[in-house]
Structure 1
Amino acid sequence: MTPKNPGHRRGPLASTAAGVLLLLTLAGCAGGPATTPDAGPAPSAPVSAPAAPTTPSAPPSASAPAPAADTQQLPPVMSASAPVTLTIPSIGVRTDLIHLGLEENGSLKVPEDTGNGAPASWYDGSPTPGERGPSVVLGHVNSPNGRGGVFADLRKLTPGAEITVSRADDSTAVFTVDRGELYPKNGFPTLKVYGNTPGSELRLITCDGYDPATGEFDDNYVIYATLKA
């Protein structure tokens, strides 16, 4: 199956250049917090289509060029190289990174959890970690095995914690956590999370806000991190 691509990741500022906005659905973020896996954000239809009340927006397409910028004033970044593994020592996370794009219907493919936990996934429409712009990594907060998902402990991350991404060219991108923020799905700040950045940044995203009355996750938790100089 060949997924649609909302635009790739080149341009003087970031992959998420201003363009056609896509809608974001979090399909599968339902069920008990230790029984049914959540799913990550999923771009779907163009912004002209009506959004569901609890659907935040997805990354803008990079089909349009990014605004011009004086590259001499931009922070140094790394060349493109696909991510292989992600490690967060302070919360004991080490995960292979699978590369996922979009389904034919425009929704984002998410890691399949068959019961023993699923690895995190890098959204291949975003910059590779270390490139200029926000690289997007998704992970489950829970798992059918009851042990929690790969990103179950994102809330424990504090400013200054390090996140390391090994890359296919044998280089390593080291990021420093800036902050974590909780957003309701019906008020997801699309441009704040996915918008152009002057340097290399990382976004780790999972579901949050489990409501036992509905069996749904009402929120997203996002970690913001910046490439270490």
Structure 2
Amino acid sequence: MKSGRRGGLRATTAAGLLLILALTGCGTSGAGPSDAGAAPSASGAPSTAPAPPAAGPAVPAPAPSTPAPAAAEPPVLSRSEPVVLEIPAIGVRTDLLKLGLRENGSLEVPQDSGSGAPASWYNGSPTPGERGPSVMLGHVNSPSGRGVFADLRKLTPGTEINVSRTDGSTAVFTVDRGALYSKNDFPTLEVYGNTAGSELRLITCDGYDPATGLFDDNYVIYAKLKA
């Protein structure tokens, strides 16, 4: 799987892995329901072929014009793996594990230390600050109570998220929005698809059903690089 400078995997790859990766990771454990973050599929951006022009009367061809220059891509940071995630607004500071995929193609999820932490960075996604969506997962709860991402729903647009990186720099993101998705209708390409700039996705489980002991939904925070 590719990451970083190439802005994520292509759409065709994402479609092929959708069923394997999109819905894994949550369940129950120990004294109470335990959750792990959503399992992302490969990144990609869908493309749509233009519709053929409608038939009509012939008209003179327009005069040639100079094509508009391509829009400049937003500036991004060089590759550097994340070390610590901080969200001061909700009192979160967590070291980050670096996890990939299991042999069956599902995403590895953070091992709960007993306190619902730490969170993890999916190492198949760009590093925070590189072009594309960097993906982080965290528990919403734990056998002992709350998880590291228990308060993601409290984050509002403009809230800052800081990611310390191995090169000594800090990538600062601001929250754009949060969204709740059913695991049966998870928008894989919207969450993990290529982006023009550097973005961050924080993902946890939601929608706990006491009748089944499972989480039916995922909650996703979308954030964009500020500095």
Give the TM-score of the pair, scaled to structure 1: 0.81
CA distance in 2, matches of 1:17, 1:9: 13
1:80 paired to 2:75 = no
Deviation track 1:126-148 (CA, whole Å, cap 9, x = no partner) reads: 000000000000000001112x1
1:59 paired to 2:42 = yes
Deviation track 1:10-38 (CA, whole Å, cap 9, x = no partner) reads: 32xx1233341213254452238x82321
Over the aligned positions, Cα root-mean-square deviation in angstroms equals 2.2
Q: Equivalent residue of 2:28, what SS?
A: coil
Give the number of the structure whose alpha-carbon radius of gyration is greater.
Answer: 2
Q: Which runs of 5+ in 2 are unaligned?
A: 46-68
Higher helix residue share: 2
CA distance in 1, matches of 2:215, 2:187: 17
Note the C-alpha offset of 1:72: 6.8
The alpha-carbon distance between structure 1 residues 193 and 28, as it changes in their structure 2 partners (threshold 3 A), is closer
**1:8 corresponds to which letter in structure 2?**
S
Residue aligning to 1:3: none
Residue aligning to 1:10: 5
* Aligned partner of 1:191 among 179, 189, 192: 189
Q: Equivalent residue of 2:189, what SS?
A: helix
- Percent identity among equivalent residues? 71
The alpha-carbon distance between structure 1 residues 163 and 71, as it changes in their structure 2 partners (threshold 3 A), is farther
Residue aligning to 2:51: none
Give the TM-score of the pair, scaled to structure 2: 0.81
The alpha-carbon distance between structure 1 residues 184 and 20, as it changes in their structure 2 partners (threshold 3 A), is same
**1:42 corresponds to which letter in structure 2?**
A
Deviation track 1:89-112 (CA, whole Å, cap 9, x = no partner) reads: 000000001100011121111111
The alpha-carbon distance between structure 1 residues 17 and 31, as it changes in their structure 2 partners (threshold 3 A), is same
Note the C-alpha offset of 1:213: 1.5
1:7–1:61 Cα contact (<8 Å) kept: no
Task: Figure out how many residues of one structure are paired with residues of the other and give that number.
Answer: 200
